[in-house]
């Protein structure tokens, strides 16, 4: 595992405040959700949808960046 691809999912709430260390999901982040006034939120595929709806500061329409490899999908 290379260092720059080792970002872990911080979804679905964004890992802020009491949950700053994350929410217990230890899957590698595949997507990065752009947020207003906050650092981008790395999320795994499972938490991408919930994060868009529940994380704070998410832009609408959402801006999502692919930062990892999606298992099972062909580019
Ligand atoms: Zn996750």
Within a domain: 61: yes
Name the domain count of the chain: 1
Q: How do residues 18-46 score in pLDDT, each as one tens digit?
A: 555 556 788 889 999 999 998 999 999 99
Query: For residue 49, how far is its CA from the centre of ligand 1 (angstroms)?
Result: 10
Spatial separation of the C-alpha atoms in residues 47 and 12, rounded to whole Å? 5
Query: For residue 29, how far is its CA from the centre of ligand 1 (angstroms)?
Result: 7
Listed residue (38, 8, 36) closest to 23, CA to CA: 8
Within a domain: 75: no
Its domain, for residue 56, covers: 3-66
Within a domain: 37: yes
Query: For residue 10, how far is its CA from the centre of ligand 1 (angstroms)?
Result: 6
Q: How do residues 57-70 score in pLDDT, each as one tens digit?
A: 999 999 999 998 77
Within a domain: 42: yes
Within a domain: 72: no
Within a domain: 59: yes
């Amino acid at each position: 595992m290379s260092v720059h691809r080792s970002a872990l999912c911080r979804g679905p709430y964004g890992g802020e405040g009491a949950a700053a260390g994350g929410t217990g999901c230890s899957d590698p982040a595949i997507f990065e959700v752009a947020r207003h006034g906050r650092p981008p939120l790395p999320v795994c595929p499972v938490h991408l949808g919930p994060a868009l709806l529940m994380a704070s500061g998410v832009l609408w329409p959402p801006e999502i960046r692919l930062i990892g490899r999606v298992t099972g999908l062909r580019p």
